[in-house]
Amino acid sequence: MPQEPSPQQIAEQTIYREMGLNPDEYNRIVELLGRQPNYTETGIFAVMWSEHCSYKNSKPLLKLFPTEGPQVLQGPGEGAGIVDIGDGWAVVFKVESHNHPTAVEPYQGAATGVGGILRDIFSMGARPIALMNSLRFGTLDKAHNRYLLSHAVSGIAAYGNCIGVPTVGGEVFLETCYDENPLVNVFCLGIVKHDQIQHGKASGLGNPVLYLGNATGRDGIHGATFASEELSEGSASKRPAVQVGDPFAGKRLLEACLEIYQTGAVVSVQDMGAAGLTCSSTEMGFKGQTGIDLNLDKVPKRAESMTAYEIMLSESQERMLFVIEKGRESEVQKICDKWELPNAIVGEVTNNQHLSLFQDGQQVANLPLDACCELTPVYQREAHPPEKETLPKSSSPEKEPKNYLEVLKQLLVHPNISDKSWVYQQYDSMVGTRTAQGPGGDAAVIILEECQKALAISMDGNSRYVVLDPYLGGLITVAEAARNVVCAGARPLALTDGLNYGSPEKPEIFWQMQESVRGMAEACEFLSLPVTGGNVSLYNESRGEAIYPTPIIGMVGLIENLNHITPSNFQSLGDQIWLLGETFAELGGSCYQEISSGRIFGNAPKLELDREKNLQEAVLVAIESGLVSSAHDLSLGGLAVALVKASTESFTASVSFESALRADEFLFSESQSRILLSIPNQFSALLQSIMSERKIPSLLIGEVVSDQFRISFNDELLIQDQIQSLKACWRDGFRDYFTKT
Amino acid sequence: MHCAVLVFPGSNCDVDLYKAILQIKGATAEYVWHTDTDLDRFDVLLIPGGFTYGDYLRPGALAGVSPVIASVKKAANSGKLVLGICNGFQILIEAGLLPGALLPNQSLQFICDVVPVKVVQSKSPFTSSYNHGDLLRLPIAHGSGNYYCDEVTHQELESNGQIAFSFPPENNPNGSLAGITGLLNEQRNVLGMMPHPERAVKQWLGSTDGLRLFQSMLEHHTA
């Protein structure tokens, strides 16, 4: 076996660079230690100081988010945030990205993303009950993108289906900027009784440290570092940095953990996710203000003669690290054995504020915990806006289309608008029998029979608006996610964010980050929505090209009364259809602009927070007053598309409008703060009074009919077709790329 | 009617099945771990869906030779009611309690959907509350539910009335032979089915068509 480089060689040959540390960082480490770190120690610093673990580039921005509220039991800093939902119950949720692994090995990359977020949730004591995902891939005309997407979907399905947590919703968006750098953001939510919440603070001198789960192998070494650099031609060779998922072990680990918590013997617990044993042990020791000794000889291993460096940096999946009460080892290990999981006492809690590693009777590393966890570098990166290109004055196409039915059909078959059931039917969305509204609607709805309440969950993000105007795009991201859960009848509670950007070292990219986070934070503040945690994924670039700035929101709303659960589809013939909110000629970044001009440009739609707040409040009042048959948010493709999507095979819309706007501007505008409602006739006056009280423009535009979809504009019949034929366009657009090519 | 809900380390529909049984007045249920072999106290044995031991080999292949299944075989041969749902159906086939094979779906993809399912045999302890020809709406969620058997076996299944449920020909989601998705043994005390009746027991779940299956079993037991 080749000899590891000596501390001196690491310094002289700048070997730390290969691990992702720069000379300034290395020098700071030497200063903190008062000596040169050895190979294992250098590796530990490299992962702990990577963006993935330390947020060194994003910390100054993350401070902008409001993180507190009476409902917040746990904000950012632990495995996942925790929010109170009353009656002694709480929900635990978080979003996590697995972008780089998916780019080089889509199946395992996406699968282990699901495994990781699940462990984040059950490490807090909660049983995971719902998964969601947000996928960004390149356009489907390219075979490689279809390969990446279909394998990522299979990976997500394989993990979630096997472990038995339903994937209840999500979103897919395709854009050329994700060609070589797809994004996989996964979200998980769990429920927990307040008194069962677990924390990651190691305490109690002499308490044993228990390793539980799959044996440690040489897979995923330096995964966190890999996730914190740009993708390049050589990235395919990083395939060994991608971990391999074992959902069956994940399932046993989940059940074993929940059973172990019941014993009351657990002092602290943390998932071995990014940076594996390193991150879990240092963070538990640091948060507990104690210290940890680990005997690496005791760590269950999959391969022979693994070095300390390899053991500490492995990202083998399905592992957890516990601190348990001394004397209760056998009680806990009996449960581990029942679930046939490798387990071992690998160390103990100390009080020296250090992580000390021992192998073959020798101390092989000794690091102060604050240097690993707290004294990490923080960079205030330079930010400046990109140069504006000169653009046409109007974002609308020069000419109005001749055939509106054709345009509508083009939009419906567009893979970004079209039905995604080809994707979500591969996910078990019903296991657990809690799913009242599964994938395909504005938000998923999960029933909590434990407390006779329901949750609405939505994942959202539109990077086109963000790239056109990061600040505005940030506002829209939060507002739309909240609007989606409102449409399902829920009061938004809190959110988690997945922030995906290019390299923060480029001023125009950092400007995108800064502005979009500013927008999101402002919307959160205004709408009283705390951010309870999330994930930052930077360096999403390949061949020097960054992705669009892509913040993703996972929004959770609470439905206190099960009667308020509201579908997004029309429910009864003869119901009135109302359009709430105002429509402007806002086609910048819209799907219509893309199909009519071949690209996106101009301004993102504007968003006024007070209007948005009033609209959401008004719709909730209408729902809670029992007036509303269905509610649907207007988003991609605008009003015309929303009317088709709200239709079923037997219920559709016959509507007419008058407006000074051009018909295409009115029908396909993606103006914000608009919702489509259907209500029984007799509630018309009540609805109007609720809306006018809050100064929400509301327009009765037509009624629910069977069979013929009709849109008239300024007394002219623009679109008429069988709804079945429009639905068929919508159903096949996306699916055809996978079944016919 | 006291029901055993078998639990393998990778079972994941066990709780759903347990809860569905408790919705039936007169029925009780108890979880049974995969290493237990004493099933005498139970009137009915239920094998839930999931991934038993990960199913990395072939769905149900390892479970088919597990300790608890050896006892299930004995109980089945003595006439006790045995119901296997989804992965449970796959196990019953691997254990040799039902003929044929469940191949990967024709699309080679996992399918989760709510689909029409036809009641083909209403004269059985599991289906007596349905009428022959009833079209149920039941959830499916599986990767290998594509039923196959040879022509001779198929003829026998037909003439013995062993086909309990089938997908209508115009809506066969997984490519099953003759749409077969629910199968009885010759004595009709063992039923394997791919659709999930335990997921169709409440209005807000989208269907209550699964309830009558459990009610049929209760009626058979109390008769």
Whether B35 has its CB under 8 Å from any CB of chain A: the answer is no
Residues from chain A that touch B203, judged by Cβ atoms under 8 A, are none
* Higher-pLDDT residue of A700, A224: A700
Task: Give me the mean pLDDT over the A642-659 stretch.
Answer: 96
The pair of three-digit structure tokens given for residue A420, joined into one six-digit string:
């995604």
Q: How far apart are alpha carbons A609 and A15 in whole angstroms?
A: 51
pLDDT tens digits, residue range A313-336?
998 999 999 999 999 999 999 999
Neighbours of A33 (CB within 10 A): 16
CA distance B162 to chain A (A): 28
Whether B61 has its CB under 8 Å from any CB of chain A: the answer is no
The pair of three-digit structure tokens given for residue A275, joined into one six-digit string:
């940076």
Q: What percentage of chain A reaches a pLDDT higher than 90? A: 89
- Backbone torsion region of residue A484, taken as left when φ is above 0, otherwise alpha when ψ lies between -120 and 50, otherwise beta: alpha
Whether B205 has its CB under 8 Å from any CB of chain A: the answer is yes
List strands edge to edge, sheet with A435-437. A435-437, A444-448, A453-460, A550-559, A491-500, A531-537
Residues from chain A that touch B17, judged by Cβ atoms under 8 A, are none
Q: How far apart are alpha carbons A410 and A668 in whole angstroms?
A: 12
- CATH code, A209: 3.90.650.10
For tokens 């090995």, the residue is A105
Find, among A659, A490, A479, the residue nearest to A551 by Cα: A479
Provide φ and ψ at A243, rounded to 5°.
-80, 165
Q: How far is CA A657 from CA A406, A563, A640, A654, A674, in A?
A: 20, 32, 12, 11, 15
Task: Give me the mean pLDDT over the A360-384 stretch.
Answer: 94
pLDDT tens digits, residue range A105-152?
999 999 999 999 999 999 999 999 999 999 999 999 999 999 999 999
Contact B16 A431 (CB under 8 A): yes
Task: Please report the residues numbered 113 through 132 in chain B whose beta carbons come closer than 8 angstroms to any beta carbon of chain A.
Answer: 113
Specify if A102 maps to a domain.
Answer: no
Greatest CA span in chain B, whole angstroms? 44
Task: Give me the mean pLDDT over the A8-24 stretch.
Answer: 94
Strands in A595-707 per DSSP E: 630-633, 652-657, 675-679, 698-705
* Shortest CA distance from B56: residue in chain A: A248
Contact B205 A247 (CB under 8 A): no
Q: Which domain holds residue A716?
A: 567-741
Residues from chain A that touch B113, judged by Cβ atoms under 8 A, are 425
User: Among A425, A433, A436, whose Cβ lies nearest the Cβ of B113?
Assistant: A425
Q: How far is CA A18 from CA A15, A238, A242, A524, in A?
A: 6, 13, 17, 39
Q: Considering the candidates B13, B86, B142, B220, report the single residue annotated as catalytic.
A: B86
Amino acid letter, residue A587: L
Contact A247 B54 (CB under 8 A): yes
CA distance B196 to chain A (A): 10
Contact B51 A248 (CB under 8 A): yes
CA distance A57 to chain B (A): 40
Residues A698/A687, Cβ–Cβ less than 8 Å: yes
Residues from chain A that touch B11, judged by Cβ atoms under 8 A, are 164
Among the CATH numbers 3.40.50.300, 3.40.50.880, 3.30.450.20, 1.20.120.330, which is that of B2-222? 3.40.50.880
The residue from A346, A376, A406 where one domain ends is: A376
Of A39-53, A250-264, B17-31, where does mean pLDDT reach its minimum? Answer: A39-53
Specify if A718 maps to a domain.
Answer: yes
For Cα atoms A453, A78, A197, give the angle at the middle one, nearest 5 degrees: 45
Residues from chain A that touch B20, judged by Cβ atoms under 8 A, are 433
Specify if A598 maps to a domain.
Answer: yes
pLDDT at A241: 66
* Shortest CA distance from A168: residue in chain B: B112
Of A78-82, A288-292, A431-435, A607-611, where does mean pLDDT reach its minimum? Answer: A78-82
- Facing residues of A676 across strands? A579, A632
Q: How far apart are alpha carbons A296 and A277 in whole angstroms?
A: 10
pLDDT at A741: 64
- Backbone torsion region of residue A173, taken as left when φ is above 0, otherwise alpha when ψ lies between -120 and 50, otherwise beta: beta
CA distance A424 to chain B (A): 8
Task: Give me the mean pLDDT over the B34-46 stretch.
Answer: 97
Neighbours of A359 (CB within 10 A): 18
Task: Give me the mean pLDDT over the A601-614 stretch.
Answer: 96
Give which of B17, B18, B110, B201 to mutate to test A binding, by max A Cβ within 10 Å.
B110
Whether B145 has its CB under 8 Å from any CB of chain A: the answer is no
Residues from chain A that touch B56, judged by Cβ atoms under 8 A, are 248
Contact A164 B12 (CB under 8 A): yes
User: Among B20, B53, B141, whose Cβ lies nearest the Cβ of A430?
Assistant: B141
Specify if A304 maps to a domain.
Answer: yes
Q: How far apart are alpha carbons A130 and A91 in whole angstroms?
A: 11
Q: How far apart are alpha carbons B60 and B8 in whole angstroms?
A: 11
Provide the domain count of chain A. 2
Contact B16 A432 (CB under 8 A): yes
pLDDT at B90: 98
CA distance B186 to chain A (A): 31
pLDDT at A707: 86
Residues from chain B that touch A447, judged by Cβ atoms under 8 A, are 204
Contact A247 B51 (CB under 8 A): yes
Q: Is A86 exposed, middle or buried (0-12, 13-18, 19+ CB in 10 A)?
A: exposed
pLDDT at A202 over 60: yes
pLDDT at A242 over 80: no
Task: Give me the mean pLDDT over the A457-473 stretch.
Answer: 97
ipTM above 0.85, yes or no: yes
pLDDT tens digits, residue range B137-189?
999 999 999 999 999 999 999 999 999 999 999 999 999 999 999 999 999 99
The helix or strand, by DSSP H or E, that contains position B213, with its residue range, turns out to be helix B211-222
Task: Give me the mean pLDDT over the A544-563 stretch.
Answer: 96
Q: How far apart are alpha carbons A156 and A116 in whole angstroms?
A: 12
pLDDT tens digits, residue range A699-735?
999 999 998 999 999 999 999 999 999 999 999 999 9
Whether B31 has its CB under 8 Å from any CB of chain A: the answer is no
Contact A426 B109 (CB under 8 A): yes
For Cα atoms B13, A244, A309, give the angle at the middle one, nearest 5 degrees: 135
Whether B51 has its CB under 8 Å from any CB of chain A: the answer is yes
Greatest CA span in chain A, whole angstroms? 88
Q: How far apart are alpha carbons A111 and A729 in whole angstroms?
A: 31
pLDDT at A605: 97
Residues from chain B that touch A339, judged by Cβ atoms under 8 A, are 9
Find, among A22, A539, A52, A477, the residue nearest to A273 by Cα: A52
pLDDT at A494 over 60: yes
pLDDT at A236 over 70: no
Q: Is A354 a catalytic residue?
A: no
The average confidence (pLDDT) of chain A is 94
Instruction: Give the CB-side neighbour count of residue A431, counting CA atoms within 13 A.
Output: 32
pLDDT at A404 over 60: yes
CA distance A724 to chain B (A): 18
Give which of B56, B85, B112 to mutate to test A binding, by max A Cβ within 10 Å.
B112
Buried b / exposed e over A119-142, threshold 16 CB at 10 Å, is bbbbbbbbbbbbbbbbbbbbbbee
* Shortest CA distance from A432: residue in chain B: B16
The contacts of residue B30 (CB under 8 Å, 6+ apart) are B2, B3, B4, B5, B42
Residues B198/B192, Cβ–Cβ less than 8 Å: no
The residue from A327, A346, A376 where one domain ends is: A376
**Sign of the Cα pseudo-torsion (B168, B173, B178, B180, in order):** negative
Contact A162 B51 (CB under 8 A): yes
pLDDT at B16: 98
Contact A430 B143 (CB under 8 A): no
Task: Give me the mean pLDDT over the A264-271 stretch.
Answer: 96
pLDDT tens digits, residue range B98-109?
999 999 999 999
Output the DSSP codes for A66-88: ----TTEEE-BTBSSEEEEEETT
Contact B15 A432 (CB under 8 A): yes
Contact B12 A154 (CB under 8 A): no
Specify if A359 maps to a domain.
Answer: yes
The residue from A323, A354, A376 where one domain ends is: A376
* Shortest CA distance from A250: residue in chain B: B10
pLDDT band at A221 (very low <50, low <70, confident <90, very high): confident
User: Among B51, B110, B113, whose Cβ lies nearest the Cβ of A157?
Assistant: B110
pLDDT at A233 over 80: no
User: Among B10, B16, B56, whose Cβ lies nearest the Cβ of A433?
Assistant: B16
> Which residues of A lie inside 8 Å of B (Cβ-Cβ)?
154, 157-158, 161-164, 246-249, 251-252, 255, 339-340, 424-433, 435-436, 447, 562, 565
Find, among A44, A52, A54, the residue nearest to A19 by Cα: A44
The pair of three-digit structure tokens given for residue B74, joined into one six-digit string:
């004995």
The helix or strand, by DSSP H or E, that contains position A267, with its residue range, turns out to be strand A266-271
pLDDT at B60 over 90: yes
CA distance A211 to chain B (A): 20
* Cα-only R_g, chain A: 26
Specify if A27 maps to a domain.
Answer: no
- Facing residues of B191 across strands? B83, B184
**Sign of the Cα pseudo-torsion (A635, A637, A640, A644, in order):** negative
Contact B205 A426 (CB under 8 A): no
* Shortest CA distance from B201: residue in chain A: A433
Residues B1/B44, Cβ–Cβ less than 8 Å: yes
Find, among A434, A457, A494, A412, the residue nearest to A170 by Cα: A457
Specify if A327 maps to a domain.
Answer: yes
Q: How far apart are alpha carbons A668 and A673 in whole angstroms?
A: 15
pLDDT at A225: 65
Q: Is A52 a catalytic residue?
A: yes
pLDDT at A28: 96
Residues from chain B that touch A441, judged by Cβ atoms under 8 A, are none
How distant is the alpha carbon of residue A478 from its chain centre? 13
Provide φ and ψ at A417, rounded to 5°.
-105, -35
How distant is the alpha carbon of residue A177 from its chain centre? 19
Specify if A472 maps to a domain.
Answer: no
pLDDT at B65 over 90: yes
Q: How far apart are alpha carbons A606 and B16 in whole angstroms?
A: 46
pLDDT at A472 over 90: yes
User: Among B10, B110, B112, whose Cβ lies nearest the Cβ of A430?
Assistant: B112
Contact B12 A426 (CB under 8 A): no
- Facing residues of A416 across strands? none
Q: How far apart are alpha carbons A216 and A299 in whole angstroms?
A: 7
Residues A632/A642, Cβ–Cβ less than 8 Å: yes
